[in-house]
Amino acid sequence: MSSITTAAKQAVSSTTDNAKMASLTQFRVECGPSQRMTTDQGLHVADTDNCNSSVGPALLEDQIAREKIMRFDHERIPERVVHARGAGAHGYFKAYDSSAEQWTKAKVLMDPSRTTPVFVRFSTVQGSRGSADTVRDVRGFAVKFYTEEGNWDIVGNNIPVFFIQDAIKFPDIIHAVKPEPHNEVPTGQSAHNNFWDFVGLQPESAHMIMWVMSDRAIPRSFRMMQGFGVNTYTLLNAAGEKHFVKFHWIPELGVHSLLWDEALKIAGQDPDFHRKDLNEAIQSGAYPKWRLAIQVIPEKDEHNFDFDILDATKIWPEELVPLHFVGEMVLNQVVAEFFSEVEQVAFCTSNVVPGIGFSDDPLLQGRNFSYFDTQLSRLGVNWQQIPVNRPVCPVMNFQRDGQMQMKIHKGTVNYWPNRQEVVQPAAVSEGSYHDHVRNISGMAQRMRGPKFNEHYSQAQLFYNSLSPTEQTHLQSALAFELSHCKDPVVYRNYINVLNNIDNKLAKYVAVAVGGDVPDASAKGNQGHKSAGLSQAYYAPKEPTIKGRRIAILLADGFDKAEVVAIKTLIVSASANAFVIGPRRGKVYAAGEKIGAEGGGIDADHHLEGQRSTLFDALIIPSGEHVALLMKSGRAVHWLREAFGHCKAIGAVGEAILLVQQAINLPEVQYADPTDSSTEVVASYSVVTTAYYGVSTAIGDASKMTLS
C-alpha cells in the first residue's frame, strides 16, 4: 500500500503542474507542421483528397479512403442521457488546514500539504449536446478529485435540493422534462405540458421548483455558481466516529445570474456563452475559485430535525447546521481536446475514498448504481482506463478483459486467493477503504420515512428568503413557463401547488396565465427565512470585476491616450476589455488619417457583430467619435439594452451626453430609419429597476461593481 502513495507523490513532484496533468502528458498528441500524415496503421500517405478510381467507380481496394470514411462514420458515441451539454477544466484542490480531521480521515480534506488535481465538468440537464448554454435549467457541477488514495467524485448541482426523493422516480422526472415523445419538442426548456403535469402531480418537487424558477437557473457564468453535493454522505474519522455530511462549493466571485431577457437573447447570439466564458477566464489568468464547505451532523443527532436529513428535497438550513470551510478549488487549465476530456470524463457518486462514505439517502443509493451503469453504455466496460478517468495512483486487481482493454497484465493468475499470494488485499491499517459498520434491521417494503411526506415548508422558506427583486423574477419565470403549457389541467393544477407555498405568488401566476385565482392560501405562509438562500448573501466582501467582460465603444475620432489608459486599467483589474468599433480591425483616433500606416487601434468586434448582452459593462471614451456613435442606431441600441439589463455604463466627456440622450430621449436620430432597435426603445420606458452610473473619472473603471 505504501507504494501506492509513494508513486502518486512522485507523480506530483515530477511536474510543475500536478499529478493528473503529468499522467495525461503521455496521451497528448502534438499536431505540427513537421509531422507527416499516416493511416491509423502508421503508413505514410501522399493523398487523402482523391479516392482511388479508374475514371469511374471508386475501387473497393482503396484502403485509405475506406479507413477515412469508416472512422468518420463511427465518431459519435451516445450522449449522456441527462447533462449531455457541458464544459470542463482542470485544476486543483487544497485543504486550508487539518481541522476536518475531527470528522474525517480523508487526507484530501485534512492534509494541507497536499495539492489534489481535479477535473470539473459543468452542464445543463435537459438539452442535448448541441443545445444552448443559457437556458433555464439546473446546472451540473461535477468534481473529480484525483487523490493519492483513488478518485473521489462529488457529482453535484448548482442547486442544493432535487425534484424527487426516491431514485426510482428519476426516469419519470427526466422523461417528463425532456422533449415530449411524440414530437421531440421542446429543446433545452422545461416550459411544456409534460414537465408541469408531472411536477404538479408529484408535489415533493415543490421546493426544487422554487429554485429552478429562481435566478439560480440562469447563471451569468459557471464561475459564479454555488455547487452542492445535494445528497447526504458520511464522514468517518480516525476514531471510527461517523458524521452525516453535505458538501457546498462557494464561488470567490459571488453568485450572479443573467436576466431572463439576456438569457433568451444570448441563447441565440452565442449559444456557447458559458463554455467560452470558462475558457476565456482561465486563459486570461482569472482562475475560477471556490471554497469547499461542509455541514456535519453527528450520527447520534440524525433524528433531531423536523425534516429527514436523508431527504434530498430538503436543505439543512445554515442557522441549524453551520458551514465549516475546509479548502479551496482553483481551475487553471483548459482542456486540450473536448471529446477526449469533457465528453469522455465519467463521474460516479460511488467513487469515494477512505474517510468518506454513503448514507441511506434513497436518491444516493440509486445514483450509486446508475452512474456506473450508464458509463457502460456510453463508454464501454473499460471506461476507467480512458486517460481523463484514470486515477493518479496505481490500479491493481483481477478485473480483466472486456472491450478495449488497454493494459497487458503479466503473471499466471487472475483470481484471488492464489497460491502465489500476488496482489493481496490491503489492510485497513495500510489505509484501505472499508465500509462503516452499521446495524440494519426492519421489514423490507416499498415505502418512504414518515418525515418525507412534508413538501412545502422549505419551498416557503426559500421563497421568503429571496429579495423582492429575486421574488419578482421567480414570479415571472413561473408565469413564462406555465404560459407555455397549453393544457388548462396542467397550469390550473400547478397554481394549486403554488397556493400551498404562498397565496400572493399563486395569485400573481393565476392572473398572468389565466388560471383560477385562489382567494385564500391553502396552508398559510409561516414566514420563516434563511439568510444563505438569497444570492445577495454571497456578494464578495471586496467588489471585483475580475474575469468580467467590458466593452469599449468606439468610432473613428476617439482619444487614443484615453482609450489605452482605460484598456490598461481594465486588464490590470483582471477583467477582459473588448474594443467594439464600426468595423473589425483598425479604428482611427482623432487626428489620424483613416487607413494611415501604423495608426489606429484594433477593434475586436464591430457593433453589428456583438451585442451588449454578451458584456457585463460598457464604457464610451470622450472625443469627436461620440458624434458618430450618436448617429448610429446600433450604438444607441447597445446603450439602451445595457441600461435595461442593469449593466454598469461608463462615459467620459462628450460621451456622457450620448448616454443621457440614448437613455432619456425617445427622439434619437437613427442613421438607418428601418433599424429594428426603434422597437426596443419603447419597451425601456417600463424598466424601473435599471440604473446607470456615469463615470467621468477613468480611474473609477477599476472600482466598478457589477451585479
Residues engaged in binding ligand HDE (CB under 6 A):
80-83, 86, 121, 123, 140, 142, 155-157, 162, 167, 170, 230-231, 312, 346-347, 363, 366-367, 370-371, 374
Nearer to ligand HDE, 231 or 544 (CB): 231
| Min dist. Cβ of residue 378 to ligand HDE (A) | 7
Distances (CA, A) of 189 to 26, 133, 195, 302, 359: 41, 11, 10, 37, 33
- State which residue, 84 or 668, has the beta carbon closest to ligand HDE: 84
Name residues whose C-beta falls within 8 Å of residue 665's C-beta, 6 or more positions apart in sequence. Answer: none
DSSP-derived secondary structure for 13-51: HT-SS-HHHHHHHTT-----TT---B-TT--B-S-SSS-
Cα–Cα dist 122/342, whole Å: 9
- Closer to ligand HDE by Cβ: residue 114 or 121: 121
State the cell numbers at 504. 400572493
Residue 227 C-beta: closest distance to ligand HDE, Å: 9
**What are residue 100's phi and psi, to 5 degrees?**
-70, -5
Between the alpha carbon of residue 277 and those of residues 44, 217, 288, 566, the distances in Å are 40, 17, 11, 22
CB of 229 to ligand HDE, least distance (A): 6
Comparison of 118 and 573: residue with beta carbon closer to ligand HDE:
118
* Shortest Å distance, C-beta 440 to ligand HDE: 21
Sheet holding 549-553, edge to edge: 605-606, 576-581, 549-553, 617-620, 648-651
* Nearest C-alpha neighbor of 247 from the set 192, 329, 178: 329
Q: How far apart are CA 258 and CA 260, in angstroms?
A: 6
Please give the grid coordinates belonging to residue 349. 457518486
Whose grid coordinates read 469515494? 352
* Closest-CA residue to 426 (of 5, 116, 113): 5
Judged by CB, which is closer to ligand HDE: 349, or 613? Answer: 349
Whether 606 and 581 have beta carbons less than 8 Å apart is answered as yes
User: Which of 171, 268 has the CB closer to ligand HDE?
Assistant: 171
SS (H, E, C) 493-506: HHHHHHHCCCHHHH
Q: How far is the CB of 262 from ligand HDE (least distance, A)?
A: 24
**Which residue blocks in 609-649 are alpha helix, DSSP H?**
625-630, 633-644
Shortest Å distance, C-beta 212 to ligand HDE: 13
97 Cβ neighbours under 8 A, 6+ residues apart: 112
Is 157 one of the annotated active-site residues of the chain?
A: yes
Residue 107 has a CB neighbour count (10 Å cut-off) of: 22
Buried b (16+ CB within 10 A) or exposed e, 385-423: bbbbbbbbbeeeeeeeeeeeeeeeeeeeeeeeeeeeeee
Give the residue ranges of DSSP H helices in 447-522: 457-465, 468-483, 488-499, 503-513
Q: How far is the CB of 457 from ligand HDE (least distance, A)?
A: 20
Catalytic residue among 18, 90, 151, 157: 157
Q: Which is nearer to ligand HDE, 77 or 594 (CB)?
A: 77
Rounded distance, CA 146 to CA 19, Å? 8
Cβ 235 to ligand HDE, closest distance in Å? Answer: 17
Largest CA distance in the chain: 92
Residue 194 bears catalytic tag = no
Query: In this complex, which beta carbon is closest to ligand HDE, that of residue 340 or of residue 678?
Result: 340
CB of 553 closer than 8 Å to CB of 619: yes
From 83, 207, 248, 625, active-site residue: 83
684 is in an annotated binding site: no
Binding positions for heme are: 371
By annotation, the residues acting in catalysis are 83, 157
Residue numbers belonging to the annotated binding site: 371
